[in-house]
Amino acid sequence: MRTNASLQSRKKERILELRSLNYTYRKIQEAIPGLSKGSISYHCGEGQKEKSREINRKRQEGICSKVHGFIYDQRKPYQPAVYKLGPVRKKGRGFIYGVHARSKNATYKANKDMLKHPIQKVWVYIGKVFPGIKSEKEPIPAVNQWTGEPDFENGKQLMFPYMRCKLSGEVRNAKGNDVHADHIDGDRNNNHIDNFSFVSGVCNYMKGRMTYKELYFMICKVKTNLEKYEKYWSQ
C-alpha cells in the first residue's frame, strides 16, 4: 500500500524508468535528488522487497523491536502537558461507562453490557469524595478517601474542587487534568461506586491495572533497588 506522498512524487515510476534505460544506481541517485541507494535497490533489486519485509518482520519481534524503536524512533521533542481545568463530571462519566475498556467496534449496548454493575448518576460517584454534591458550583467539603472523615490541610478544611489524592496524599484540584478517576481493583469494567477514587495522574499511570497490594510491593522493590544504586543517580 503506497502513501499519497509516494503516489504524488512518482519516485517509484521514475526509478524504474531510468533503470530501464540502463542507468546505474549512482546515476539514478544523481537524477533524483534526495534518493538513497537503499530506495533504488528496494525497487530494482531482485527479491529486495521480500528481504525488506522479512527484516521489518524480525524487527517487530521480541527484544529487537524495543531496541530498534529506541535507536530509530523519531518522535517530536517532549512537551510537558499543559495544565487545564475541566468538568469533574466528565471524569465521573468516564469511570461509570468504562470508556477505557470499551471496544471501538462494539455497539453502545454491547459496551454497556460489559459493565458489571447498574449505572448510577455521576454525582453519586463524585459524592464519595464530596458528599452531597449535586453541581460543580457548590462549596462542598471533601472527605479523606481512606477514612471518610472531613479532610484538612494546614488547619483548613478542603472544599470542592480541592481534595487529597488517595495514593500520594497530595492536595489537588479535582478539575485539573492531572487528576484521574481510578478503578481501585484495576478492573475497568467494575463500575461499582466502592471501586471509585480520585488519584493524581502520575499515581494512576504507576498503578495501571494493579491492585493496591500489587502496587505496594512493586513500589517497595523499586525503592529498594534505587537506594542500592543511589550513588549513580547523578550520573
If one compares 86 and 41, the residue with the highest pLDDT of the two is 86
> Residue 101: its pLDDT value, please?
47
Q: What is the mean pLDDT of residues 91-106?
A: 67
Q: Which residues contact 32 (CB under 8 A, 6 or more apart)?
A: 11, 14, 15, 18
Q: Output the CA angle 91-94-98, nearest 5 degrees.
A: 150
Could you give the CA distance from residue 197 to residue 193 in angstroms, rounded to a whole number?
Answer: 9
Q: For residue 120, is pLDDT > 90?
A: no
If one compares 103 and 153, the residue with the highest pLDDT of the two is 153
Torsion from C-alpha of 110, 94, 215, 235, nearest 10 degrees: 120
Q: For residue 106, is pLDDT > 70?
A: no
If one compares 190 and 219, the residue with the highest pLDDT of the two is 219
Place of cell 550520573: 235
- The proportion of the chain whose per-residue pLDDT surpasses 90, expressed as a percent, equals 46
Task: Give 95's pLDDT tier (boundaries 50, 70, 90).
Answer: confident
DSSP 112-168: HHT-SS----HHHHHTTTSTT--STTS-PBPB-TTT-SB-EETTEE-BTTEEE-TTT
> Residue 3: its pLDDT value, please?
63
Q: What is the mean pLDDT of residues 190-207?
A: 94
Query: What pLDDT, in 10s, does the model give residues 156-177?
Result: 999 999 999 999 999 999 999 9
Provide the mean pLDDT of the chain: 84
Beta bridge partners of 183: 196
Q: What is the mean pLDDT of residues 171-185?
A: 95
